[in-house]
Each structure stands twice: as structure tokens, then as C-alpha cells.
Amino acid sequence: MADVRVPSTSGNVALYPWFKFCQSLLFWQAVWFLYFQQSLSPGAAIALYAVYDISVTVLEVPSGYASDRLGRRKTLIAATLAGVLGSLLIALGDSFAAFAVGQFFVGSASALASGTDSALLYESLEAEGRAEEVEAQETRALQFSLIGFALSAVIGGAIALVSLGATFVAAAVAMGAGTLIASRFAEPPKKRGLGGGGQWDAMRTALRLPVLRWIFALSVLMYGFSHLPFVFGQPFILSALSQVGLAGEAPLVSGAVTAVMMGLSTVASIHAMRLRGMLGLPAILLLAFGMQILLITVLALTQSWLAIAVLFLRIVPDALSHPFKMGRIQPLLENTARATYVSFQSLCGKLVFAGSLFAASVSTTDVAAMPYDDIRAVLIWYIIAGVLGWMVLALTARRAGVEATS
């Protein structure tokens, strides 16, 4: 049987944005809660989200370890196949158990791809002698992802008006296309870095570098502040829809809101490389984090439509930071631990954010709908922590050597 993989890693670079595009075609993203609520209670629907979140968290580091041991291509194929299986199980399921198994596989798909996708891109560029292109290529891939999210949000919302379950079938088809693309990747060559030891030796070596510790801390903080609007922004949107009588069009409206959010982020990513060149790496990363803090501040100050308009900007800081964070850390990591490191960084972000939410939940009142005064009180503590974190990062950026000198 003929080998269907591209003969060199140069093909990986060309295929990678399309792989990210297929990964992002989550047609169910705007209606998953409504779909589960058709067959189950709202409490069960929330529990199913927890199944997904726990699956990603538990498998985050083991999947990175597997990627570094087994290879990027195999891991990405496994990720997309898990996405196909999980989406189909949810589409065809009619019980909590079936949905939970599907959510586990969807979470597994996310965990398996985390860190592995960026590692494949960088190692392919490195093999072709094009490692200096990593920021530009990460930015291009991010644009494809954002376009995929935006399109699938709108199309998924329209599909949901006919059938909520069909959105998961459409996502399975998209993941199937991702599997075909992943099967055509060539495995990048293995190349040891400075440490020369195993995976955990390489991890310890990486964490001794001040610049990696700085970006690690920034990434953990930005993960939480990126997800805060997702958690606390829902009351604003729900209230606004009720006031204008659009509750019956919730799937389509929700999809449209997500599409606008991703569209604005795509525009930001188009200008990100030029802005990075003008400001330098530390400044653009601090700018992105500062935007997140400012967004949360607006939510804490007003319940008006201004807050909803600001929510459209939620992903812009990621567009202005993610490619450059990955571009800075990838050359400093060894191939034997590259995906493990990125997965560990992601895991820490999830755990710190989850811990902070648990602490915040203790201080809120026990009522069905969270009062705005409670939301404001919680967000104020996040704002204080964010400002302090931003100041520490700003004061230590030069000493950490965030801006590469070579």
C-alpha cells in the first residue's frame, strides 16, 4: 500500500492551518447546553460540561507525554478520531451515560491536540531551516482557527433551528476531515536540545530559564482572565435577550455573538505581527493581559449593553499573545518534552482558575440566579489580583529576558 503522507515536513507547514480550521468547526458550540437540556435537566447539562472539563484536565499532561514519546502525527490522528467518536456518541445518545462518554472523548480530543499541534508546526519549521517563521505561521494558523470558529458558530446556530443534534454530526464530519489531514502529516525528526536527558529532565531544565518561568506565569494568569467573561458574562447576555424578546432565537443569536467575537479577533490577528514589531514582545504580551483586566473591569462597573459590546473583544487578547508566546518558548524547549511542557502549562492554568472559582463560589449568596452585586464583588477581587500580577510581570520582564536578543 502506498504511503499517503507528504514526503517532507514542508508539507506539514502548508497543511497545518487547514488542520486547525477543521479542529475549530465546532458547530455545537452555541447550542450544546440547549441540546443536553432537551433530554436532561439543567443540572445534568452542567454536570456534562464538568465531564468534558475534567477529561481535558486529567489527560492534559499524559497526552503531552504520549506525544513526546509516540510522535506528533499519531497523537493528532488519535485526537481527531476521538473527536469524531465523541461527537457521534453525543449526536446519537439519549441518556446521561451516553452523553458523558461522548463528552469524555471530546475532552480527550482537546487534550491530545494540546501542545502537540504547536510542537508539530515548530519542529517541521525547524527541520526545514525555517524556525524563524514560527510566529508568522502560528499567527496564520490562529487566523484559520478563528475563521473556523466564526463560521461554525453561525452555521451551527442555523442548523440548530432544524435539529440540535445535527450540529454534533456536522462537527464529527469536520473532525473526520481533520483525521485525513493529520494522516498526511510527516513525523518531524527527533532532535535533543540542551539537556540531553529524558522528558522530566528536559522539563526541569526548561523551568530553570527565567524567560520560560515569566511566560509560564503570564499564561496561567491569562488563561483565567480569558475564561472569566465566559463564566460571568452569561447573565449579561441572558438578560439582554430577554429584554428584547429574542429568547426563542437563542441558538442563532448565541452563534452570531460568537461569530462577531471571532471575527474581531481575526482582524486583530491580521495586524498582530505589525503591532508586535512596533511594540516588542514584552509590551504586546502585557498589552494583551492588560486588555483582559480592562474587560473584567467594565463587567464589574456596568450591566449595560456596553458590557456586552466589550464581551465581543474577549478573544482579541489571545490573538495578540498566543502566537508570540509559542514562538518565544518553542526554540527553548527540547523535542523530548515540548508537548509535555505546553500541556503542563495549560494544566496549571486550568487548576489555578478552577481553584479561584471555587474560592469565589464560597462568598456568593445561595440563590437560583447569581445577583449582579455578587458578580461585581467577585470580579473586583480578580481585578485586584490581575493588576498586581500585571505589575510584577512588567517589573520583571527585562530581567527575565523576555525579548530575544539574537
C-alpha cell at 142: 490562529
pLDDT value at residue 7: 47
CATH of 10-400, one of 1.20.1250.20, 3.20.20.70, 3.50.50.60, 3.40.50.2000: 1.20.1250.20
pLDDT value at residue 86: 95
Q: What angle do CA 204, 346, 262 make, to 5 degrees?
A: 145
pLDDT value at residue 392: 96
Closest CA to 19 of 108, 86, 83: 83
Give CB contacts under 8 A, 24+ apart, made by 95-98: 95/39, 96/40, 96/44, 96/47, 96/48
pLDDT value at residue 294: 92
- pLDDT tens-digit profile, the chain (406 residues): 344 444 467 789 999 999 999 999 999 887 777 788 777 776 677 678 778 878 888 888 888 888 888 889 999 999 999 999 999 999 998 888 999 999 999 999 998 998 899 989 999 999 888 888 989 999 999 999 989 988 888 888 788 888 889 999 999 999 999 999 999 999 988 765 444 456 667 777 888 889 999 999 999 999 989 888 766 655 555 555 566 665 555 555 666 777 788 888 888 888 888 999 999 999 999 999 999 999 889 888 876 666 667 778 888 999 999 999 988 988 888 877 788 888 888 888 888 887 887 776 665 554 444 556 667 777 888 899 999 999 999 999 999 999 876 5
**Do 12 and 185 meet the contact criterion of CB atoms below 8 Å apart?**
yes
In whole angstroms, give the CA distance from residue 110 to residue 106. 7
pLDDT value at residue 92: 92
Enumerate the domain spans of the chain: 10-400
In whole angstroms, give the CA distance from residue 359 to residue 353. 10
Collapsing DSSP to helix, strand or coil, 306 comes out as helix
**Do 146 and 319 meet the contact criterion of CB atoms below 8 Å apart?**
yes
**Do 109 and 86 meet the contact criterion of CB atoms below 8 Å apart?**
yes
pLDDT value at residue 196: 46
C-alpha cell at 273: 505581527
**Do 276 and 323 meet the contact criterion of CB atoms below 8 Å apart?**
no
Helix (H) / strand (E) containing 72: helix 72-92
For residue 330, the 8-state DSSP code is: G
**Do 68 and 59 meet the contact criterion of CB atoms below 8 Å apart?**
no
